[in-house]
Amino acid sequence: MIFTQVAKAIIFHRKKSKLTQKQLADLAGVGKTVVFDIEKGKETVQLNSLLKVLAVLNIKLEMKSPLMHLIEVEHEDS
């Protein structure tokens, strides 16, 4: 499900930015196939490539967890 949401967001932002898949790939420094795979919801796209595409489109990826607030506390204690 998350891959479908990411794909929809990227397609929407890319089209609003009036970019082709090739243009987005060039700006992100990835191959056109990477953009195509992301937009098809492929689950095997490398995280680094996905992050490059998201950065070009100014999309932030957030992590949420009931324990996230403990990361900094635990880090400070080490």
Determine, yes or no, domain membership for 72: no
Who's near 67: CB < 8 A, 6+ residues apart?
none
User: What are 27-68's pLDDT values in tens digits?
Assistant: 999 999 999 999 999 999 999 999 999 999 999 989 899 998
Determine, yes or no, domain membership for 50: yes
More confident: 75 or 1: 1
In this predicted structure, the answer to whether residue 75 has a pLDDT above a threshold of 70 is: no
In this prediction, residue 56 carries a pLDDT of 98
Enter the pTM of the model.
0.85
Determine, yes or no, domain membership for 26: yes
Provide the CATH number for the domain around residue 38: 1.10.260.40
More confident: 29 or 71: 29
Range of the domain at 17: 2-56
The number of distinct structural domains making up the chain is 1
Count of C-beta atoms within a 10 Å radius of residue 23? 15
